[in-house]
Amino acid sequence: MTDHSYVAGVDVGTTKICTLVAQTAPNGQLDILGIGVQPARGLKRGVVVDRADAVASIRKSVAKAERMADLPIWGAYVGITGSHIRSRNVTGRVRVGPSGEVTADDIDKVIQSARDNVSLDPDREIIHALVRDFAIDGQSGVKRALGMHGARLAAHVHVVTGTTGAMLNLKDSVEDAGVKVQKQVLEPLATSLAVLSEDESNLGVVVIDIGGGTTDVAVFVAGAIAHSTAIPVAGNHITQDIAKLLHISHAQAEEIKKQFGTAFADMVSGDESLSVKEIGTGQENQVPRRLIAEIIEARLEEIFLLTVEDLHRSGMYHTLAGGVVLTGGSCQLPGTTEMASQIMDDLPVRIGTARSVGRLASQVASPIFATGVGLVMHAAAEGAYASPAQTPTQLAWLETSWRTVKEWWSQNVQRRIAAYLPRR
């Protein structure tokens, strides 16, 4: 490919790293070219806790996507989440210039005014300042203020912040893996871009992404984001509960959850059992499948109750006429949509998967890819191509290969040489 019209997204999760490469077509549609999924190491609740492990996992995910797409990835939009994320709605106000017509400069100033109204601790910074709507001379609900006339301009803005340390650790981990971070994007914002219809976001809808380390929540009202948060309980906690109670490995618990898990214990008959291997002794034990379901039911119920509590606290619960959209790996457990609807006062609930994205659409038609697809959609919308336009593809591959050789040298050859040097 010589026009470099491709974009990339890296979803750095607690349990998996997902890298997607997509080509942008002249009609604006995306065509997924490469997918790289790698089990994550070095992350906890969406935050890097072991940089070396995180870098290795990201590098492997990126390499898989590069091989599948037959393209180098120079830059990518990277998802960010974690319990350190905070959000609030603020209002900025400015006077329109002498012409009385709202200019791009007026819009920049009113957004900056809103940002200035956010009091930040020294260890926090703004990730996004997203305009919900404008008001001109007191008339609210204006979606596009540019070119309109008035004397006073206000902007209602959703501001998302994160801790500087967590953001830098994620950025450095991705860049140490050889990919420039073009932008860090709030994961539920990216997910929503991939799974929501315009009607849903206008009517009022909540996206609940049950990931590995966190459950990301985003509410959209009147076509704009109105609330976002990350709840520190998610799918990995279900797996840990199963592993601890049954004295089995985390990997075995994850496999049991995926193969035999259900959201309700009543979905399983009392006489079904599973064979598990106890850690340490290696002893084979028979465990009632209903017990697995009871463990899962308790955690999923906690996740949805915490979500409802957060939505009530934010004042957003009454706005959800469009219902609930679930994404993330754990939402695929049988009965999950029914549980969400039951806990959330019988609101309509559906599973959210990414809209059609070209030749690999069937391979990413799963809730686990929703965030990754949203990231490449976001990058495409902003024209953030994954390779510099002035760099030929051949040179890109050469430099990518040289980067790989240098990493291999530093990690292996130098260590072996040092082992043979005489000790002084």
- 127 closest CA partner among 160, 103, 150, 104: 160
Q: How confident is the model at residue 361 (pLDDT cuts 50, 70, 90)?
A: confident
The span from the CA of 317 to the CA of 158, in Å, is 17
Mean pLDDT within 109-122 = 96
Helix, strand, coil: what percent of the chain each, to 5?
Answer: 40, 30, 30
The DSSP letter of residue 333 is S
Residues 6+ apart with CB under 8 A from 67: 34
Is-same-fold flag (86-162; 235-299)? no
Closest CA to 132 of 156, 111, 148, 112: 156
Beta-strand runs (E) in 107-241: 124-136, 139-142, 152-163, 180-186, 205-210, 215-221, 224-231
Architecture of domain 235-299: 2-Layer Sandwich (3.30)
- Note the helical H segments in 183-249: 187-195, 198-203, 235-246
Q: Per-residue pLDDT tens for 301-332? A: 999 999 999 999 999 999 999 999 999 999 99
Mean pLDDT along residues 200-207: 95
- Write down the pLDDT at residue 263: 96
**Beta carbons of 367 and 327 less than 8 angstroms apart:** yes
| Residue 119 CB contacts under 8 Å (≥ 6 apart), including other chains | none
Backbone dihedral region for residue 346 (phi beyond 0: left; psi -120 to 50: alpha; all else: beta): left
- Cα angle: 373, vertex 375, 381; to 5 degrees: 105
* The two structure tokens encoding residue 96: 């329109």
| Residue type present at position 389 | A
Nearest-CA neighbor of 146 among 113, 97, 195, 197? Answer: 97
With a CB cutoff of 8 Å and minimum separation 6, the contacts of 199 are 322
Whether 219 has a pLDDT exceeding 90, the answer reads yes
Mean pLDDT of all residues belonging to the chain = 89
pLDDT at 422 over 80: no
Tell me how crowded residue 306 is: count the other CB atoms within 10 A of its CB.
Answer: 16
What span, in angstroms and rounded, lies between the C-alpha atoms of 226 and 216? 14
Closest residue by Cα to residue 354 from 20, 76, 12, 13: 20
Arithmetic mean of pLDDT, 152-156: 97
Q: Which of 160-174, 248-262, 277-291 has the lowest mean pLDDT?
A: 277-291
What's the pLDDT score for residue 417? 42
Contacts of residue 345, defined as CB under 8 A and 6 or more positions apart, other chains included, come to none
Where is average pLDDT lowest: 6-10, 11-15, 78-82, 354-358?
354-358
Convert the pLDDT of each residue in 225-279 to its tens digit: 999 999 999 999 999 999 999 999 999 999 999 999 999 999 998 788 999 999 8
Residue 84: DSSP 8-state: T
Question: Across residues 110-118, what is the average pLDDT?
Answer: 96
Phi-psi region of 215 (alpha: psi -120 to 50; beta: other; left: phi over 0): beta
How is residue 423 written in tokens? 């000790």
Average pLDDT over residues 284-295: 94
Kindly provide the b/e burial profile for residues 252-264, where b requires at least 16 CB atoms within 10 angstroms of the residue's own CB.
bbbebbeebbbbb
pLDDT band at 4 (very low <50, low <70, confident <90, very high): low
Residue 370 has pLDDT above 90, yes or no: yes
Q: What is the pLDDT of residues 43-71, one digit of tens each?
A: 998 899 999 999 999 999 999 999 999 99
pLDDT of residue 412: 54
pLDDT in tens, 71-108: 999 999 999 998 899 999 999 999 998 999 999 999 99
Residue type at position 283: Q
Tell the residue number behind the tokens 């004042």, with chain if given. Answer: 315
* H or E element in which residue 281 lies: none
- Tokens of residue 357, six digits: 């994205």
Q: Which two tokens stand for residue 303?
A: 């996740």
> Regarding the domain delimited by 86-162, which CATH topology (the fold level of the hierarchy) does it fall under?
Dna Ligase; domain 1 (3.30.1490)
Domain spans in the chain, listed from the N-terminal domain onward: 86-162, 235-299
CA separation for the pair 98, 414 (Å, rounded) = 66
Closest C-alpha to 208, from 327, 317, 80? 327
Quote the CA–CA distance of 75 and 261 in Å, as a whole number: 38
Answer yes or no: is pLDDT of 189 > 90: yes
